[in-house]
Amino acid sequence: MRYLATFFLIAAFIFALPLAANAEFNTIDDLAKAYSDETCKGCHAKIYDEWKKSYHSQSTIHSLGGIRNFVAVGIQKEWDRPINKKDLMKCFHCHAPQLSQASDELAVKIGKLIVAAVDEKDEAKKAAAKKELEKLNVGCVICHNTIVNRPAIASLGVPEKDAMYGPAEVSAPHKTMKSNIIKESVFCGQCHGIYNPPDSDLIMCNTLYDSYLNTYTPYGGQQTCQDCHMKEKNRGHTFPGAYVADIVKEGIEVTADATGYKHLTGTKWVPRIIVTADIYNKSGHRTPDG
Amino acid sequence: MVLDVTAKDDKGNKIFSEQKEYVQYGLDVDGDMRYGAWQIKRFADTTLQPLAVKREHMAIPVAEGTKTVDVSITLKYDHPGAKLEIPIYSLKKKVTFTY
């Protein structure tokens, strides 16, 4: 029985991974299934649980307001265009890269769901739209395959469709590949910095990586994103950031004091207090950032 | 992120209040503040830069005859959209004057 279970598990990997590669999907469920993390959960339960708590697992719905504004105000109102996949990818290049494999019709449907999940007056329809969009996130397959080589695609090439890329050489029931770039800040920076889409209309969603590159490292900073947001305190795949008190406090050190003295104005002494506050940003990027 | 300095005299009256805000305001091509990531093309940036110390000085004028002043210094990280506030630092100090 145990062997049979193992067989099905291996078979599940073999059949699950290739789906994510070259297909075009017409429904959210098919797209979500191709990128499902449920198969990974079987062997990587701890990592899965960590990821589930992270904002990567909510990468679409956590940013719903901003993406809705891009669709309803940016695409439709300011640019006067119908909802279209090319423009939607300006958000989903990072918020759910699997959308690149959606058919044009599915992409438009997702764009409409984004607007409905915020603007819909009927609460039941609004909740239903949100529930659908919860299926679009940045999961295991996205980071460990789909986008792993993206910042150096010309030299590293397109990831092998049935392999999972990680920082170490390991053996697993599925094909694994050792990746150096996944340990580098540029891997995170591909999404946590200014995005330059194919049509060159810059999307300044956040500028963390730009600050890391242009200020932190020139001032001698040597840690990577992964050092602070994953390795430190065994944070793993929870990737804590600006919404988590622990890491926010860790990045800022304050020394302050207030001292009273008598101030001389002409011939008169008046009481006065001098306040000094030194705020040291120990983190690897400007704080705060989007 | 906001640094807040408040002072109250020995009667409990607020005699000083000042906030310093560390924030990145997105601006469009006309230099107007915008929230949309597609609209933003540059920034008005008062954020805390990495590996740098931001030193703030404030002088609090105190009325003659005041014997004590309670000074409060706080730094908080706020996310207005998410209605989340993370307190980072807090100091309460009583400053005494003798005449």
Q: Residue length, chain B? A: 99
Identify all chain A residues contacting B53, using CB atoms and an 8 Å cutoff. 278-281
**Chain B interface, best mutation among A89, A224, A249, A273, by max B CB count within 10 A:** A273
pLDDT at residue B41 is higher than 60: yes
Top pLDDT among A17 and A98 is at: A98
Q: Is the pLDDT of residue A190 over 60?
A: yes
A221's CB contacts (< 8 A; 6+ apart) are A212, A284, B50, B51
Cβ atoms within 10 Å, residue B49: 17
Q: Within this chain, do residues A261 and A211 fall inside the same structural domain, yes or no?
A: yes
**Could you tell me the pLDDT band of residue A20, with boundaries at 50, 70 and 90?**
low
Q: What is the pLDDT of residue A2?
A: 52
List CB contacts (< 8 A) between B35 and chain A. 66, 69
Q: Tell which of A145, A164, A183 closes a domain.
A: A183
Number of domains chain B is built from? 1
Task: Render pLDDT for B58-77 as a digit per residue (tens, 0 to 9).
Answer: 999 999 999 999 999 999 99
Please indicate, yes or no, whether residues A167 and A220 belong to a single structural domain of this protein: no
Task: Select from A161, A183, A205 the last residue of a domain.
Answer: A183
Distance in Å, alpha carbon of A208 to nearest chain B alpha carbon? 10
Indicate which of A279, A283, A289 best probes the interface with B, i.e. most B CBs within 10 Å of its own CB.
A279
The reply to whether A212 and A169 lie within a common domain is no
Binning pLDDT at 50, 70 and 90, where does residue B45 land?
very high
Please say which residue of A119, A149, A183 terminates a domain. Answer: A183
> Within this chain, do residues A161 and A233 fall inside the same structural domain, yes or no?
no
Number of domains in chain A: 2
Whether A61 and A205 map to the same domain: the answer is no
CB contact under 8 A, A219 and B84: no
Q: A111 and A243 share a domain?
A: no
Q: Give residue A264's domain range.
A: 188-290
Residue A220's closest chain B neighbor by CA?
A: B51
- CA of A254 to nearest chain B CA: how many angstroms apart? 7
Any residues with CB less than 8 A from the CB of A273 and at least 6 apart, and which? A258, A259, A260, A261, B7, B16, B59, B60, B62, B69, B71, B95
A70: chain B residues, CB-CB within 8 Å: 36-38
Least Cα separation, residue B17 to chain A (angstroms)? 12
Which residues on A lie below 8 Å from B96 (Cβ)? 260
Q: Are residues A155 and A173 in the same domain?
A: yes
Domain carrying residue B46: 2-96
ipTM attached to this prediction: 0.96
Clarify whether residues A247 and A112 are in a common domain: no
What percentage of chain A exceeds 70 in pLDDT? 92
The residue-averaged pLDDT of A27-34 equals 96
Q: Are A38 and A136 in a shared domain?
A: yes
Is there a single domain that holds both residue A217 and residue A113? no
Closest B-chain CA to A275: B58
Cβ A275–B77 below 8 Å, yes or no? no
**Statement to judge: residues A164 and A127 lie in one domain:** yes
Q: What is the pLDDT of residue A55?
A: 96
